[in-house]
Amino acid sequence: PTIFFITPTYKRLTQKADLTRLSQTLLHVPKLHWILVEDSHEKTNLVQRFLAGCGVQFSHLAVRTPKQLITKEGDPRWLKARGVEQRNLGLKWIRQNYKDGIDGVIYFGDDDNTYDLKIFEQMRYTKKISVWPVGLVGGLKWEGPICKDGSVVKFYTLWKPQRPMPLDMAGFAINAKLIIDNPDVEMDTMAARGYLESSIVSRLATRGEFEPLANNCKEILVWHTQTAEPKMKQEDRLKQMGFESDPSMEV
Ligand code: UGA
Ligand code: MN
C-alpha cells in the first residue's frame, strides 16, 4: 500500500526550514506520495523549487483559506482551525486520481511535527482507521488512546474526552478505500473547536473499530512540535534604514 501524506503549508519565515526537515524524514519512507497543499491562491515559486529538488514523490496543490476562516490579528490561535481547506483539496485530488481503485492509507501531518519512521510502516496496513498517541500536545506531555487487548477503551486527554476522535490530526490514519467509498466525507470547515478530527473520522468508523498502533499505544512515535517564530529585530531595524538583507537570498 502507498502512504498518501497530506500536508497543508503556508508562507512564513520558517517554511523552507520546516519543509526541508520534513522532506528529509519522508525520503526514508518507501512508497510514499506527498500531497503538499499550499494555503495560497497560487503555487508559490519557493515551494515549487523546493519540491522539484527534494527527492520525494509529490503532488503540489494550492487553495487559499477563505477570508472568513482566517484568524485575524489579535485573535487567539485556536479560534479557527488551520489547514482545513487544504486537507480537503488533498482528499479531492486522491478521489479524482484513483477512481478505479486504490491500495493505500491517508495520513494528515503538519509541516512542523516530528515523525519517527516506524509509524509510517505501522500505519501502512490500516484496515479502517488506525490510532496512536501524540507527544507534546493538548497542554500535556502526550494525549492518546488507552488500549486493552488490542482495542481502544478510552482516550487520555483532559479536554472534551467525549469527542468521537479526541486525538490530534497526527494521531490517526485512514484506509484510502474508505475515502473513495464515501465520496462526501471531508473535514468540516465549520466544526466546533476540537471537533475537526472527529468531523471526518466519526463518519468512517466507530471507536470499537479503531486499530491501535505504536505498541498498543504505549509508545510515542509522533510529536506535535511547533517551530518558534524567529526574532527579526535587527532585520526590522535594517529595513527601516533601507538596508534589509539581500532579498534575492531565499531563506
Ligand atoms: C494543530 C494541529 O496539529 C493541526 O493538525 C490542526 O490543523 C491545527 O492545530 C488547528 O486545527 O488549528 P498547530 O501546530 O497549532 O496545529 O498549527 P500549525 O502547525 O501552525 O498549522 C497546522 C497545519 O496547517 C500546518 O501544516 C501549517 O503549515 C498549515 N497552516 C497553518 C496553513 O495551511 N495555513 C495557515 O494559515 C496556518
Ligand atoms: Mn503544527
pLDDT of amino acid 77: 65
Residue 218 CA to chain centroid, in angstroms? 22
Taking residues 21-29, report their average pLDDT: 98
Q: Does residue 109's CB lie within 6 angstroms of at least one atom of ligand 1? A: no
What does pLDDT average to over the chain?
95
Residue nearest to atom 5 of ligand 1 (CA): 169
* pLDDT at residue 78 is higher than 90: no
Give nearest CA residue, ligand 1 atom 20: 82
Q: Where are the alpha helices (DSSP H) in 62-155?
A: 84-97, 117-123
Give the Cα-Cα-Cα angle 149, 154, 158 (nearest 5 degrees). 145
Q: Is the pLDDT of residue 161 over 90?
A: no
Q: Are 199 and 191 in contact (CB under 8 A)?
A: yes
Q: pLDDT of 232-248, one tens digit each? A: 999 999 999 999 999 99
* Cα 113 from Cα 137, distance rounded (Å): 11
List, for residues 134-152, the tens digit of each pLDDT value. 999 999 999 999 999 999 9
User: Catalytic residue numbers?
Assistant: 197
Query: Taking 80 as the threshold, does the pLDDT of residue 71 lie above it?
Result: no
How far apart CA 163 and CA 196 sit, in angstroms, is 10
The residues facing 74 across adjacent strands are none
pLDDT at 101: 94
Query: Does the beta carbon of 169 lie inside 6 Å of ligand 1?
Result: yes
Q: Kindly report, residue by residue over 166-188, the tens digit of the pLDDT.
A: 999 999 999 999 999 999 999 99
Angle at 12 between CA 133 and CA 241, to 5 degrees: 145
**Distance of CA 100 from the midpoint of ligand 2 (Å):** 34
Position 61 scores a pLDDT of: 98
> DSSP H helical segments within the chain, as ranges?
15-26, 45-54, 84-97, 117-123, 176-181, 196-201, 214-217, 233-240
Kindly report the backbone phi and psi dihedral angles of residue 216, in degrees, each rounded to the nearest multiple of 5, phi listed first.
Answer: 60, 35
Which pLDDT score, from 0 to 100, does residue 228 have?
A: 97
Listed residue (75, 65, 53) closest to 9, CA to CA: 65
Residue with cell 493505500: 104
Q: In what order do the strands lie in the sheet with 2-9?
A: 58-62, 32-38, 2-9, 104-108, 172-175, 129-131, 211-212
ipTM over 0.90: yes
Distance 17 CA to ligand 1 centre (A): 16
Among protein residues, the one whose CA lies closest to atom 21 of ligand 1 = 82
| 103-142 confidence digits (pLDDT tens) | 999 999 999 999 999 999 999 999 999 999 999 999 999 9
Beta carbons within 10 angstroms of residue 21's beta carbon? 16
Q: How far is the CA of 242 from the centre of ligand 2 (A)?
A: 34
Atom of ligand 1 nearest to the CA of 18: 28
